[in-house]
Amino acid sequence: MIPELLEKLDNGELSFNPAVELSYLTIEEQKEFIDAMEHTQAVPSISQAQRMKKLSREKKLTGTKMREIMGEIKKGEITRVMFNNEQLYWYFPKSYTPAEMKEEILSMLNQWKPQKTAAK
C-alpha cells in the first residue's frame, strides 16, 4: 500500500476494511484513487472498494471510473452537500489542501451562524 493511503488509514480518513480492498490495486491505481478521493471529497465504502478491486483485477479500472464510483451517493448521505476541488479552488489558492479548505469553510460558517441566528 502506498504511503498516502497508509497515512489516510492512520489518521482515520480511510476505514480499515476498504483499505484492505484498496491494497490490492496496483501502485498506479492507488495513486489515481488518492486523486479520485480528493476530487470527490469522499471516502469509500467497503462495497465501493470491492468494486474497484474487481475492476482492477479485470484490468478495467480507470481514474474516471474511480471518480464515478467515489461520487456515488451512499446510503445515509442523501442530504450531504458536496463540492469538488475545482469548485473550491475558485475561492481558495491551489496550495490549500482539502483539509485546509474544509477548516476555513467551517471557520467562516461559525462566524456567519451567530449573525444568521440573530437575524431571525
> How high is the pLDDT of residue 78?
55
Q: What is the pLDDT of residue 39?
A: 87
pLDDT per position as a tens digit, 56-112: 999 999 999 999 999 887 766 556 677 777 788 889 988 888 888 888 998 999 888
Please state the three-class secondary structure of the chain as a single string: CCHHHHHHHHCCCCCHHHHHHHCCCCHHHHHHHHHHHHHHCCCCCHHHHHHHHHHHHCCCCCHHHHHHHHCCCCCCCCCCCCCCHHHHCCCCCCCCCHHHHHHHHHHHHHHHHHHHHHHC
Has residue 48 got a pLDDT over 70? Answer: yes
What pLDDT is stored for residue 25 in this prediction? 98
Q: What is the pLDDT of residue 72?
A: 85
| pTM as predicted | 0.64
- The pLDDT value recorded for residue 75 is 65
Q: What does the pLDDT read at residue 83?
A: 78
Give percent of the chain with pLDDT exceeding 70: 89
